[in-house]
Amino acid sequence: MPSITYEFPYASKKLPVFAANVVASSQHLAATAGLRMMARGGNAVDAAIASAIAITVVEPTMNGIGADAFCILWDGQKLVGLNASGHSPALMTPDQFKGQDKMPNVGWGSVTTPGAVSLWMELHKRYGKLPFADLFEPGIKYAHDGFRVSYMVAKQWDRAIDRLKGQESWVKAFLPNGRAPQPGELWKFPDQARTLTKIAESKGEAFYRGELAEAMDKYARETGGALRKEDL
């Protein structure tokens, strides 16, 4: 694969862009997902949710469906804030962390109840215009058909290996070829495509009360985690 140059010898500037709607994201593919919802007649919330879903695929180094999520929006009359940071699993106790001088950042000790999907659900319920499943289409397509990995994501991915190579499930999901992807490489996440499809088709219920919740519970029990279906 040829090397890609990101250093340019001449200064440049961007011209102003004028539009009726704008979607901003750290990944252009995620922003495009939001713009597609706008083009279908969706509103800003539809666009934000679609972008948030897509970015769990195209920027997995910083985002995931097991993450927390937060939102501040103006609904036309008042400022609304939503907090979907997950609580600790019920089986997790302070005694488990005695003697530690910092928060764990790998393994089950770093895992709280995932809240991001619940935020997508609640935002759509309150403010969404398009069908919930429609918001997943771009993300599912990226995961199933593949996407070109950006330079920064490839760099972050490679950097994460030393810290996470001892996590068997992470290696299986993110290093199926035994390495991180190269910039510009076509990458697919077929398992995540199936997961997002289940969430979309069940309007989120599969993640918190159905098949996916049961799978998380089962895996946690088998690997020493505290998370249970009841926490979800």
Q: Where are the domains of the chain?
A: 28-146+188-223
Please name every residue paired with 73 in a beta bridge, in sequence order, or none if there are none. Answer: 80
Model pTM? 0.91
pLDDT at 1 over 60: no
pLDDT of residue 3: 66
Alpha helices in the chain (DSSP H): 28-39, 44-58, 116-127, 137-145, 151-164, 168-174, 190-201, 205-208, 211-223
Is 16 exposed, middle or buried, given 0-12, 13-18 or 19+ CB atoms closer than 10 A?
exposed
Dihedral pair phi/psi, residue 23, rounded to 5°: -125, 125
pLDDT-based confidence at residue 42 (cuts at 50, 70, 90): very high
Residue 144: pLDDT above 60? Answer: yes
Residue 114, C-beta contacts closer than 8 angstroms, at least 6 positions apart: 65, 66, 67, 68, 86, 207, 232
pLDDT surpassing 80 at residue 8: no
Overall average pLDDT of the 161-174 stretch: 92
What was the pLDDT predicted at 67?
93
Average pLDDT, rounded, for the chain = 93
- Residue 39 in tokens: 């083009």
pLDDT tens, 174-221? Answer: 999 899 999 999 999 999 999 999 999 999 999 999 999 999 999 999
Which amino acid belongs to residue 207?
F
Q: What is the pLDDT of residue 5?
A: 66
